[in-house]
Amino acid sequence: MGAQLRLLRRRISSVKSTAKITRAQELIASSRIVKAQQRMQEALPYEREITRAVTGVVSNAASVDHPLTVAKENPAKAGVLVVTSDSGFCGGFNANVLREAEALRGLLEGRGMTVVPFVTGRKGVTWHTFRNREMGGSWVGFSRKPAYADAKEIANTLIDSFKDENGIDEIHIVSTEFVSMLTQNVVVKRVLPLEVEETEATDSTVIPPYFEFEPTAGDVLESLLPRYVESRIFTALLQSAASEEAARRRAMKSATDNANELMRVLTQQMNQARQAEITQEISEIVGGANALADAAAGKE
């Protein structure tokens, strides 16, 4: 019985230490979410304006004929940027992204295309390396606090491959979109080539700015589109960073609650074992006293 009590005490101590770690991780994630949201909100105006500018150029140009806007007749290779985290303790955050990336891979391969993954985050890089998946590029070390320089480096790699004759023909991004503290959705977006759609104007339509091009609209697009791709990637990284912290906070809170519940159950079991041990000792004492009393009565 004493051995059982010692085992329960060790388990309670271990669970208590785990609860302290998960609680600390929860508090750290809670403090980082606010900053991640602020950085995400600060980047939205630039993305909105650069998107509006590109839309204005494409809408006002007489003919759009640019390598980044014209889809190839028979696309054979697609690049997929998979945005994951560098560290764990964030629940199903990375698993959801990788699952959606695999679904996209199956869809593209069903169209007869070869998929080349470009991965950010150690978790995604490790996942692809373990499966011997050749990557077109990998970047780690900034999932919690991405900088614009990181997005620029990724964009340059993707655009260079897109412009190469033997490179990729499409660019997709699989990342997590931050909706709220409780909701983060995995989204798939095609970045290049741009999809030009003609729509009828309504009262709620945002009218794109009017441009006059000198010398040509192609030169303007040549300057704008790389920055457009950079802004889209940077926004995806910021959204993913905020989502990662929110997912980590939720996962660590759940782990802390489970640890507290386990401690309650183990404490109850330890008290029951202690009571059983005390009852057994009392029974042995009473039994010994009765035996002595019977022996004394027999001698008389």
Domain limits, the chain: 64-197+207-247
Per-residue pLDDT, 40: 86
Per-residue pLDDT, 68: 66
Per-residue pLDDT, 203: 45
CATH 3.40.1380.10 for domain 64-197+207-247, yes or no, is yes
Per-residue pLDDT, 120: 94
Per-residue pLDDT, 205: 46
pTM: 0.80
Tens digit of each residue's pLDDT, the chain (300 residues): 567 778 878 888 888 888 888 888 888 888 888 888 888 888 888 888 888 877 777 766 555 566 666 667 778 899 999 999 998 888 889 999 999 999 999 999 998 899 999 999 999 999 999 999 999 999 999 988 999 999 999 999 998 888 888 888 889 999 999 988 888 899 999 888 876 554 454 544 444 556 666 666 667 777 788 888 899 999 999 999 999 999 888 888 888 888 888 888 888 887 877 777 777 667 767 666 666 666 666 665
Per-residue pLDDT, 126: 94
Per-residue pLDDT, 275: 74
Task: Give the 3-state secondary structure of the chain.
Answer: CHHHHHHHHHHHHHHHHHHHHHHHHHHHHHHHHHHHHHHHHHHHHHHHHHHHHHHHHHHHCCCCCCCCCCCCCCCCEEEEEEECCCCCCCCCHHHHHHHHHHHHHHHHHHCCCEEEEEEECHHHHHHHHHCCCCCCEEECCCCCCCCHHHHHHHHHHHHHHHHCCCCCCEEEEEEEEECCCCCEEEEEEEEECCCCCCCCCCCCCCCCCCCCCCCCHHHHHHHHHHHHHHHHHHHHHHHHHHHHHHHHHHHHHHHHHHHHHHHHHHHHHHHHHHHHHHHHHHHHHHHHHHHHHHHHHHHC
Per-residue pLDDT, 26: 82
Per-residue pLDDT, 44: 85
Per-residue pLDDT, 29: 83
Per-residue pLDDT, 264: 86
